[in-house]
Amino acid sequence: MALRGLVVYYFSITSTPWKPDMNADHARVAAAIRFIRDNLAKQPGLDEIAAHVGLSPHYFQRLFRRWAGLSPKRYLEYLTVEQAKPLLRQSFSVLAAGDELGLTSPARLHDQFVAVEASSPGEYKRNWRGVEIRYGLVPGPFGDMLLAQTRRGICLLSFVDDQTRARELDRLQRLYSLAVLREDSTAAQATANAVFTRRDAPARAIHLAVHGTNFQVSVWRALLRIPRGTVVSYGQLAEGVGRPAAVRAVANAVAANPVNYLIPCHRVLRADGGIGGYRAGPDIKQQLLDWEAPALPDFPDHDGRLPDRGPRES
């Protein structure tokens, strides 16, 4: 099995180099970021931002995405959501919050929350109170999984066994204590089949409805930029998010990842090359790493063990 096609992470960024050199292009992007921040209330468009740094809209769009890891529009949406959050906490109505941020209608604020936060402004304000989450325990290529999803996408995916099943169900209830949890194994199995599909299957979009603290999200974004078949150390990951001295905090953010496999925390190892921790256990982590190596066939065996590759070249 393999995950194929487009996987949509509402807060995600595209794959970019982690530490590009400082040069003229970077200076233009930095100037654009300052311009967007300084003019957030005006909600500047692509043409206006590109003109500010003296580039054509088409070239600027490509340059900004290459360096910042997301489009100017997505960056603007992210900043808008971050400014909207305290206003919503202060009990502003969605309409009032939109006016305060210079948006043309409440619908625009709603759209930006869906794109960045995977929850509507009302859901964020209510802390997911009343949001329906359907979940199920379903079989998969690496054993049983607990999969939970809202109408916006997957909010939890955990590998479980007889010893951890109750723990992960309790985690789901704690993470979404104000939501309405409904067991629906049929829907969970359909989604699991879409996640773990053959390489030659038609591409399908898989949405995630996850959010966390700003720091956690920055770590999860970095995880998304680790290519399949590649591993990094916790220290390298900390450097990748610009916090080289915060290795322990980065490790805690990795451990808090609610969607195993899709947000690939299994690609992080100890500095000495050891397998390190994994919520589902080191055996599952090793299976995932082995399975992602390019020489492996499409599916593990039915019992969850990976097929033998045969002799390896030295």
pLDDT digits (tens, 9 = 90+) for 265-310: 999 988 878 888 899 888 888 878 877 765 333 434 333 333 333 3
Among 232, 265, 288, 306, the one annotated catalytic: 265
Q: Does one domain contain both 152 and 51?
A: no
pLDDT in tens, 125-167: 777 788 899 999 998 888 899 999 998 888 999 999 999 999 9
Q: How many CB atoms lie within 10 A of CB 129?
A: 13
Residue in 117, 112, 88 with CA at minimum distance from that of residue 210: 117
Q: Which residues contact 135 (CB under 8 A, 6 or more apart)?
A: 146, 147, 148, 149, 156, 172, 181, 182, 183, 184, 188
Q: Would you say residue 112 lies in a domain?
A: yes
Prediction pTM value:
0.60
Q: Are 145 and 185 in contact (CB under 8 A)?
A: no
d(CA 263, CA 42): 34
pLDDT band at 180, cuts 50/70/90?
very high
Question: Which of 74-78, 85-89, 250-254, 291-295 is predicted most confidently?
Answer: 250-254
100: CATH: 1.10.10.60
Among 186, 208, 230, the domain boundary falls at 208
- Are residues 91 and 151 located together in one domain of the fold? no
**22 and 119 assigned to the same domain:** yes
Q: Over the stretch 102-128, which tens digit does the pLDDT of each residue have?
A: 766 666 655 555 444 556 667 767 777
Residues 174 and 235 in one domain: no
Residues 242 and 156 in one domain: no
Q: What is the pLDDT of residue 22?
A: 41
Given 125, 145, 168, the domain boundary residue is 125
**Local structure of 95: helix, strand or coil:** helix
The answer to whether residue 307 sits within a structural domain is no
Q: Does residue 11 surpass a pLDDT of 70?
A: no
The pLDDT score that the predictor gives to residue 165 is 94
What's the confidence (pLDDT) of residue 158? 95
DSSP secondary structure of 241-279: TT-TT-HHHHHHHHHT-SBTTTS-GGGEE-TTS-----T
- Does 166 reside within a domain? yes
Please tell me the total count of domains within the chain.
3
Residue that finishes a domain, picked among 188, 208, 228: 208
pLDDT score of 9? 39
What confidence tier does 94 reach under pLDDT thresholds 50, 70, 90? low
Give residue 101's domain range: 14-125
**155 has catalytic annotation:** no
